[in-house]
Structure 1
Amino acid sequence: MNGFTISDWDDAYENGRNIPNGSDWPGVWVSPAQKFRDQGRNRLDIPYGTSERAKYDLFLPEGTPKGLFVFVHGGYWVALDKSYWSHLAKGAVDSGWAVAIPSYDLCPTVSIAQITTMIGAAIDHAAGAVAGPIVLSGHSAGGHLVTAMMCEDTPLSKPTQKRLRHVVSISGLHDLRPLLKTNRNETLQMDMHSATAASPALQRPLPGVRMTAWVGGGERQEFLRQTQLLANVWYGLGCDTRAVTEPDRHHFNVIDGLADRGSPLTRAALNDPDEE
């Protein structure tokens, strides 16, 4: 990294145009997501707030769940909803866990801080429906949102915090200040104060919660850096952290492992370290 300077910040955080056939996503997720909703044991569109998008889907295993697994989608806080990702619940459901996948309001209608509060409310609501330990996972902007749940200023209730065991940020954004230099900020509407306040890498983590930062080996350099950044900083603050680079994965297919109970990603998320 010595001597490396970013001249085009929009390109540094652009995924679709830098991935072969990148325009295929998110469309390729629609069919498998719908198929999983159609054939699984699920409860759809559970409201956790007052807005139209304040709903989550809950996917249930056979028998009593081992705990609650939550997946928070990405889309740079400005796009997509829970319907694209249902199939990613399969790995955890097949492992005996209940899985909640929430939607949330989007920028610029709301701020990133307000979205963070919404995700906390969604997790609290789902935690009221499913007993046991809680594991959180999120992709891209969703990675930011789940790591915000284990910051000291978390919006999660105290009872939910006590059940939180592990947070897995997949291709997450953990320092939002670089996004101030991108055209995306016209929609995100952050300033230096709000970007700093919303950056997990600049906050202190909750004690007793493990954090894994996971990224594809073929991702943009900034996503690789953001992954190492959080693991490095929080390790220095006493957090049990891991940084994992999965070979031959780009920003969109890096989450595919969540659909497979035997994948390294699902096993790392749900198992204790000595069980992996």
Structure 2
Amino acid sequence: MVAAELVATTSLPDPVEALRDALAAILDGLVAAGCGPQHLLSMTWEAGEPAAFHLSRHEVELAYREVFAGFRPPIRLQPRAEPGLAIRARHSAPTPPPERLVQGYTLPQLARQYSPRLQADMKALFRQWSRDGEAFRAHHRSHDLAYGPGRFETLDLYLPQGVSRPPLWVFIHGGYWQASDKVQHAQFARGMLAAGFSVAMPNYGLAPETLLEQSTAQIVAALNFLVGEAEALGIDAGRLHLAGHSAGGHLAAKALVASDAPPIASGLLLSGLFDLEPLGHLPIGRLLGLDDLARAKRLSLPGRPCPAARLAFAVGEAESDAFKAQSTALATAWRAGPPVLCAGHHFSLLDGLNGGKLLELARSIAAA
């Protein structure tokens, strides 16, 4: 196998920022070589303070996933004499994709349709979300609760001031089931919290280490935990509302059809992925095991949603056609009305949760 090496160095003092910079440079090199994360063979991280870059640190793992999601070759961490960080990444040569059509797209076209990261500067976006999330948490008291024994089985609960037994709005973050965190989405609780709702933001195990079936079960477990502990937590779980974005939209939809989930009063699905079969033709889908057609079908929707739930779908105006089609197809199957078009792309869409058409939609289906 022909292999090449990419090298990136940084002297930024903060380990997380240094890792983001170095990994982003490696990704740029891969793209320039016509490759992607799936072509990585191995990495060596050389650091003046190696322990600060250990992948067992939650912040370090999240920073890695921000760039390469669940694609992780063997990584060797070792000391270097100089301060800072140097990353050496070996990768294989690109291979031409097979010539076939999926849903009318060639495989390169399909990859672009299902790559929302092309719509934004992801390094800048994740940095901003991290800053905004931390700032929101600093000024809004939250309870970091464990709904299960797993490392990722935690949730943040925010309570509105001056509201007795508020209704509950649960938001599930996206990240292609492989990245991101509740902390990076805390700021998107502001609108519903100001409207008098308690807001819960659960984490869930990330793929590929955690199977999508397990992530779905974790979300249902989080909902059942909140309902079971409602009296102790001072919330009204009889008014339970669910929202999810991107992969979180898929997990929310799966919870809406789960027989072991508690009653859900409303579901708001934002730019979700519901038909997983097309992903099985792409490297990211193969990483998730979606090239197993039977499994991809089991993990897809529609199913039958909670009969009492009021449903709404929304997508960004600048979304790809495939993402828009995903929401349109499930909204039609569930007779929920057409998806609401909101300002922005796949990621900036979420800004509307703090004011504007999207917040109005969330409040209207939750208050109906």
1:121-156 Cα distance to aligned partner (Å, 9 max, x none) = 1111122332141111111000011111111x3441
Residue 362 of structure 2 corresponds to residue 269 of structure 1:
yes
In the TM superposition, residue 230 of structure 1 has moved relative to its aligned partner by: 0.6
When Rg is computed on C-alpha atoms for both structures, the one with the higher figure is 2
Which aligned runs of 4 or more in structure 1 are off by greater than 6 angstroms? none
Q: Compute the displacement of 1:25 (Å).
A: 2.0
Q: Distance in 1 between matches of 2:194 and 2:344?
A: 23
1:109 Cα deviation (Å)? 1.2
1:195 alignment partner in structure 2? 296
Q: What is the identity percentage for the equivalent residue pairs of Structure 1 and Structure 2?
A: 31
Separation in 1, partners of 2:346, 2:365? 26
Hey, what does 1:180 align to over in structure 2?
280
Q: Give per-residue Cα distances to partners, 1:59-117, cap 9 Å, x unaligned.
A: 11012243000000001011111110001111111001100001111111121111000
Higher relative contact order (CA 8 A, sep 6+): 1
Residue of structure 2 equivalent to 1:244: 340
Task: Name the structure 1 match of 2:96.
Answer: none
Residue 34 of structure 1 corresponds to 134
Residue in structure 2 matched with residue 56 of structure 1 by the alignment: 155
Q: Give the superposition deviation at 1:22.
A: 4.5
Q: 1:204 to 1:120 in 2, by over 3 A?
A: same
1:142 matched to 2:243? The reply is no
| Distance change (3 Å), C-alpha of 1:242 and 1:124 | farther
- The answer for unaligned runs of 5 or more in structure 1 is none
Conserved in 2, the CA contact under 8 Å of 1:58 and 1:100? Answer: yes
Which runs of no fewer than 5 residues in structure 2 stay unpaired?
A: 1-102
Q: Which amino acid counterpart does residue 346 of structure 2 have in structure 1? A: H
The CA distance in 2 between the partners of 1:181 and 1:33, in whole Å, is 34
1:1-276 paired onto structure 2 within 5 Å: 5-7=104-106, 8=108, 9-17=110-118, 19-44=119-144, 46-62=145-161, 63-127=163-227, 128-129=229-230, 130-131=235-236, 132-151=238-257, 153-156=258-261, 160-161=262-263, 164-190=264-290, 191-201=292-302, 203-235=303-335, 240-246=336-342, 248-260=343-355, 263-272=356-365
Q: TM-score, normalised by structure 2?
A: 0.66
Q: Distance in 1 between matches of 2:133 and 2:219?
A: 21
Give the 3-state SS of the residue equivalent to 1:68 in structure 2. Answer: strand
Whole-angstrom distance in 1 between the partners of 2:325 and 2:313: 11
Query: How many Å separate the matches in 1 of 2:333 and 2:196?
Result: 33
Task: Name the SS for the 2:345 alignment partner.
Answer: coil
Q: Is the 2:269–2:312 contact (alpha carbons within 8 Å) kept by the matching residues of 1? A: yes
Q: Distance in 1 between matches of 2:259 and 2:282?
A: 27
Amino acid at match of 1:207: P
Offset at residue 5 of structure 1 (A): 2.0
How far did residue 195 of structure 1 move? 1.2
TM-score, normalised to structure 1, is: 0.87
Q: CA RMSD in A?
A: 1.8
CA contact (8 A) 1:148 1:154 kept: no
